[in-house]
Chains A and B, each alone.
Chain A
Amino acid sequence: MEAYLFYLLAAVTVIGTVLAITEKHPVHAIVYLVSSFFSLAAIFFLLAAPLIAMFEVIIYAGAVMVLFMFVIMMLDVGRSGDGLRPGLRQWLPAMLLAGVILALLGMMLAHGGWPAPGAGAAATLRDFSLTLFRQHGVAIEIISLQLLFAVVGALYFGKRRGP
């Protein structure tokens, strides 16, 4: 049953993403992208990584996309619907990246695939945090510093100048 669910969710994810790319209307594109995130989260859940699944929903669907939507609504750019189709020049880098990823995938497949996921038990919260903060402690610190810079920068820009 898990396999069927996986294929279903994978199909939803892929179709949602494709529609999000091709949709001209920004708000619709966001809705497609959110559904794709959601099914991606469900796939993570099936892969016994519920923590990642939840973070996917909280951070991407719940925060990032909502901010996008907020900006679109505030600036009222979601109304026009007559955005230009991206030209060949815009497509080119995306195509390049997609090609690289597909090539890598093919290489991995050619080398005999990879072990089936989900075999082990679900990673517990404790394992997760130990790995995150013990093994990658320095990386975490660097990232949080970066976020701090961003916050300070935002404060600086947002400060009211003059009287």
Chain B
Amino acid sequence: MIYDPLDIALMLAKIALVFFVILTLAAYLVFAERKVLAWIQDRKGPNRVGPFGLLQPLADLIKLLTKEDFRPIGADKWLFYLAPAMAAIPAIMIFAVIPFGAPLRLFGHTVQLQVADLHVGLLLFVALSSLAVYGVALGGWASNSKYALLGSIRGLAQLLSYELSMGLSLVPVVMLARSFRLSDIVAAQAGCWFIVYQPLAFMIFLISIAAECKRIPFDLPEAEGELVAGFHTEYSGMRFGLFFVGEYLNIIALGGLAATFFLGGWHGPLLPPVVCFSVKVLAFAFLFIWIRGTLPRLRYDQLMHFGWKILTPLALLNILVTAWWLVLRG
């Protein structure tokens, strides 16, 4: 196969750009979360490092990098070292399929603002989010600690259950767009966003992704009130940092996907497409932070009941209704 060097260069540039943007965004999302939570609680939040505390992520990074890399006695060495990467890498890889802007024309080439426009993009996302379970499970198991093990068992059960409702809530989207390709899904929403046709699927997807990125009210795997820090109790330094950043990358990725599937991706009024898309992603991130500042944690049995007895049947029903509707409309 012959590749055009310009194509390769553009591809590499896109990858580098996406990497840079999402990593910075994740670091600042941590900062934003601390700030917004502080405001919600009538506090000021981090404001010491740099103007308005804007350099706080940098300070955190330095702190994490210089901390001791600790491994508890009896931990499974390789799995313990690998697990943080297993948690972070799927989160980063999801960004490969997200279209974050309208195609551009550069140097006589049409550049998709999307790293890989796979025609199974949606499935790749489901696959990657199902792989993200391994980081949680192995990290907790390999730590040789009771709290971590309990955290990862909870994480396993929770992620597995909510993956189901998440996948099912995406089926109507595929039925409407008639494609797994994310750019097709976005194109299908040029006229009307899918949230108008599928408010229920959107709600189910929203709840499921909150559970997927282990956010309050679904943060049972790391419930600090009961399990110290859950599956990453024993991690220190940058390995903990990877878990942490992976979680925030996940928020951005899932927010981006929610925008892509239900809110028309980069379609939007007035603003240029990339800005539209970023606004939607940031709105989702804010929503998650806001929810975290408001709601208490669910109990474990409530979580499981909600997932299996309410969300999954609802999603199935929604698929059925959508299918009938599509058939009757012809």
**A touching B, CB within 8 angstroms:** yes
Query: Would you call the interface of chain B mostly helix, strand, loop, or mixed?
Result: helix
**Residues in A neighbouring B138, C-beta threshold 8 A:** 27, 31
How far does the Cβ of B327 sit from chain A's closest Cβ, in whole Å?
14
How far does the Cβ of B315 sit from chain A's closest Cβ, in whole Å?
16
**Residues in B neighbouring A57, C-beta threshold 8 A:** 127, 130-131
A125 pairs with B119, CB closer than 8 A: yes
> For chain B, which range describes its interface: under 10, 10 to 19, 20 to 34, or 35 or more residues?
20 to 34
A28 to B126, CA, bound (A): 24
Check if B157 is an interface residue, CB within 8 A of chain A.
Answer: yes
B179 pairs with A66, CB closer than 8 A: no
A84 to B120, CA, bound (A): 43
A125 pairs with B180, CB closer than 8 A: yes
**Residues in B neighbouring A58, C-beta threshold 8 A:** 123, 126-127, 130
A47 to B134, CA, bound (A): 27
Contact A70-B160, Cβ < 8 Å, known A122-B119, A125-B179:
yes
Contact A27-B79, Cβ < 8 Å, known A50-B118, A73-B156:
yes
Q: Using a Cβ cutoff of 8 Å, how many contacts connect chains A and B?
A: 72
B119 pairs with A54, CB closer than 8 A: no
What is the chain A residue whose CB lies nearest that of B122? A54
A2 to B1, CA, bound (A): 9
B133 pairs with A62, CB closer than 8 A: yes
**Residues in A neighbouring B130, C-beta threshold 8 A:** 57-58, 61-63, 66
A55 to B120, CA, bound (A): 10
Contact A54-B127, Cβ < 8 Å, known A73-B141, A73-B156:
yes
Check if A19 is an interface residue, CB within 8 A of chain B.
Answer: no
A70 pairs with B179, CB closer than 8 A: no
Per-residue CB contact flags for chain B residues 121-151 toward chain A (1 = under 8 Å, else 0) read: 0011011001101100110010000000100
* A-B residue pairs in contact (CB < 8 Å), sample of 23: A27-B138, A28-B79, A34-B134, A50-B119, A50-B120, A54-B123, A54-B127, A57-B130, A58-B123, A58-B126, A61-B130, A61-B131, A62-B126, A62-B130, A62-B163, A63-B160, A66-B134, A66-B156, A73-B153, A74-B153, A78-B141, A122-B119, A124-B119
* Residues in B lying within 8 Å of A, measured CB to CB: 1, 76, 79, 118-120, 123-124, 126-127, 130-131, 133-134, 137-138, 141, 149, 152-153, 156-157, 160, 163, 179-180
